[in-house]
Amino acid sequence: MAGLEDVRGFLEGDADAFRRIVERESPALYRLAVWLTHDPAAAQDLVQEVFVRAWRHRRQLRTPERLTPWLHAILRRAHLDWRRRGWRREVPIADAPEHLERLTLRHGRVAPPAEDQVARDADGAALCEALDCLSPLDQAILALRYGDDLAVHEIARRLNLRPGAVATRIHRSLAKLRRHLAEDAGTGGATERAQRRNR
Amino acid sequence: MSSRTSVEDRLRQHYRSEAGQAGYAAPADLWAGIAERLGLEDSRVPTPSLRGSANGASGRGAAQRLPRARRWAMRGVAGLAGAAVVMAGVNHFAPRWVIAAAASLHGQSPAAEGEVLRGDPGLWPLFQQGAFQPVQLSATHGGVTLTMLDVYADANRTVVVYRIDGPAAPQGTVETEPWQVRTDNASASADAALSGRQPPVPQRYRVTLRDPFGWPHDATEIDGLGNLGYIVFPPLPGWLRTLGVHLTLHVEAVGDTLAKGDPFGPRTFRTVTGPWDIPFVALPAQAPVLALNPAVRAADGGTTLTLTSVRTTASGTWMDLSADGLPPDTSGHFARYRVEGPNGDTVRPTAVARSGDRIAAQFPPLTRAGVYTLVVESDGRVWRLPWRQPDWSGQQPHWGPAPTTQTGPLAEGAPDADIYTGTSLVTAARLSGLPVHGVPAGWRLVQVSVTPDFRPPLSGDRSTTPYAVQLTLTNAAGVTLTVTETRTLWSLIPASESLAVYRASMARASGSNVDGPRIGQYEGMATHLWVVRTMDPAHTATLRVPVLYLYPSWGSIEVAPVPGKTQGLDEAALERLVTEVAQAWWAAPVIPR
């Protein structure tokens, strides 16, 4: 968490303080953005957008101690905007190679896959699809819980939720994922889809 | 538990994998991108609020300095106010979007209300199909309730169906004309002038439909049967018909006519002034319009007629003509109009109005494809104005099942005013509720019909059936006459005039086509025998036709020869004939229902 002096400086328009806040807060935000978008480039854009919005609307931060939850809230809104704009679907022809590269990054593969790699890709693809069925907030909660290994109360603090609500959402999200993955395994759909993508 | 652990482990592995691929640290150029977008070159940048203060406190800066709760309160109030304005605007100018469910009410009016529309060949089928929107809103003034029953609107007209419920006739009087919308007090003035009394100050009463912008549109036609009637207004703009529209029916006066003592006694005109204002939401059914501008001309006798427009909706076809070279002293209805259709059929107009050199003619809806010809005839001159019309039956609205009648086919364009036409006296008796007698000996029944008659019954009992029954009889010689019975007052005397006033008016007239009545008695009933001068159907000779009325306690019976079917019988012979038939009719047994 950024020091309170830096936050106060940020609120007063101190660019140096702001830069220090960016350096301290961006890793966690970036990781979360990657987990939400499955796309490092998009995650970088999102985090950049978060800090741009934060600077422009810094007067809205009434309590310096709540900078981190405030930034996470901005990230969630930016993520929603990103989903609404369908960034993942709008791929100009000129950007197609880059987009393909992002897809390979998402599924952790660049070279033609070995058989065991196909299986891992299939597993990752199935999980990604299952995660996409969750709400953005639930995705963020799971990412902080299992990606950053944060405790429930810390997730609640960052996302400005009650701990009970976080626990409930984790429970329900896991149930949804299990159901989705079980159905997918039953049909073998994810493996087939992954193999088709890898051909 | 194992599957739960598995999912959680897979999640951890997945997140670790993605973070590993992307790198746990944020990209090194993140700050550069942010600084570039924000233009952060200096180490210290004034905050928006400080900048606002330095520049004289812009509105935005001032707003940002407000406490957060107050800002949100202000936003909330502004949002609510904006939403209220939008909702009010939408509700006022586009009620269809607000009350869409009301559209489903089309076609749920009681059928009896539509009887008043039977005389209009365009509106009656529409009412049967459920194209009218029930309204059922009332306003009361001076003990008189005006109820708006239904509304219909298309590109040719806006029609309001109404009912008036007023106080019953005082004791010792008979209501001869029902409660109806009054547009002036001319009836009272004419009666006063004929009876030698001081006429009242001339007064006009307005009947309008006020649109959402407050503009009143005067009625162009008021028609009705009894206390049921309909008012026709000019068409609403198309976009208002589409959105639905808030309208207000405004009626300034209503009245009825009373006869003192007996049905032919002195008249009293009861007038109650309101106004009655009934605001309502009209949600007209979607009704397409076929608008043509034929601009076809025809000249005859120095007068050129131009058919400028033909506008067809489900309720009728409206034609506009212009006349050049019409003498200034030309009478209002200087010509007869008809339309010859694609199949050679002929359609007569339902109304014609002329204002200067502009003529407007209304016809039943002409919806077939093909070539139509408007034929105008006057004093031997003929104007033929043809136009071609496309097939647009696919655009015709379908509100409900096609209207069904119990009648045989009638000529196209003729108002289907009868609810029954046939040869079954039992059916006629059942439908009308009247005491229908059998056919007199020596006569053959050609046809019997049942027609609505919503005028006040002479008994004063308004629950009785508002129908008239007419039999057409013919004898071996081919003489044809009609026998008509009804519970209301049928006479050659207008309902608004007493017998004394009518006689006085005939005496003052230079020439009258009516002689009589010769008053008599038969079987305890009063009888009136009139002689009517008329032309034979070929317009070649003048006929004197006797018409006999009998007044039983429950209503009226009229016996009258059919002009052109008198087979050369003179007035005296016809008088004997109608008298004999009336007596035989009355003596014949009543048909069981």
pLDDT, tens digit (0-9, with 9 covering 90-100), for B318-344: 999 999 888 777 766 678 899 999 988
Q: Are strands B420-422 and B514-522 parallel, antiparallel or unpaired?
A: unpaired
SS3 label, residue B358: strand
ipTM value, please give it.
0.72
User: Would you tell me which residues 112-131 of chain A have a C-beta closer than 8 angstroms to some C-beta of chain B?
Assistant: 123-124, 127-128
Dihedral sign computed on CA atoms, order B427, B430, B431, B436:
positive
User: What CATH number should be reported for the domain whose range is B290-395?
Assistant: 2.60.40.1640
Q: Which residue has the higher pLDDT, B221 or B319?
A: B319
Q: What is the pLDDT, as a whole number, of residue B207?
A: 94
| Shortest distance, CA B77 to any CA of chain A (angstroms) | 20
Q: How far apart are CA B198 and CA B295, in angstroms?
A: 52
Q: What is the pLDDT, as a whole number, of residue A117?
A: 40
Tokens of B109: 């009016």
Asked if A132 has any chain B CB less than 8 Å from its own CB, the reply is no
| Shortest distance, CA B20 to any CA of chain A (angstroms) | 10
Q: Determine whether the interchain pair A19/B35 forms a contact, defined as Cβ–Cβ distance below 8 Å.
A: yes
Q: Give A13's contacts in chain B (Cβ within 8 Å).
A: 44-47, 50
- Closest residue of A to B25, CA-based? A27
Nearest to B22 among A23, A43, A177 (CB): A43
Q: How far apart are CA A94 and CA B60, in angstroms?
A: 40
Place B79 in a pLDDT band, splitting at 50, 70 and 90: confident
Q: Mention the CATH class of domain B420-587.
A: alpha beta
| Shortest distance, CA B23 to any CA of chain A (angstroms) | 8
Asked if A54 has any chain B CB less than 8 Å from its own CB, the reply is no
State the architecture of B101-282 in CATH terms. Answer: Sandwich (2.60)
Domains of chain A: 1-106 (1.10.1740.10), 112-199 (1.10.10.10)
Q: How far apart are CA B409 and CA A108, in angstroms?
A: 82
- Reference B257, options B212, B349, B190, B158; nearest CA is B190
The full length of chain B comes to 593
Tokens of B206: 């307005």
Would you say residue A91 has pLDDT above 50?
A: no
Which H or E element spans position A192? helix A189-198
Q: How far apart are CA A82 and CA A46, in angstroms?
A: 8
User: Would you tell me which residues 22-41 of chain B have a C-beta closer than 8 angstroms to some C-beta of chain A?
Assistant: 22-27, 30-31, 33-35, 37-38, 40
**Identity (one letter) of the amino acid at B543?**
L
SS3 label, residue A144: helix
Q: Which residue has the higher pLDDT, B388 or A88?
A: B388
Q: Which residues pair with B488 in a beta bridge?
A: B457
Q: Where are the alpha helices (DSSP H) in B107-252?
A: 123-129, 186-195, 238-243
Q: Determine whether the interchain pair B34/A22 forms a contact, defined as Cβ–Cβ distance below 8 Å.
A: yes
Mean pLDDT confidence for A65-73: 89
Average pLDDT, chain B: 79
Would you say residue B193 has pLDDT above 80?
A: no
Q: What is the pLDDT, as a whole number, of residue B38?
A: 84
Would you say residue A107 has pLDDT above 70?
A: no
- Closest residue of B to A12, CA-based? B47
Cβ atoms of B506 and B514 within 8 Å: the answer is yes
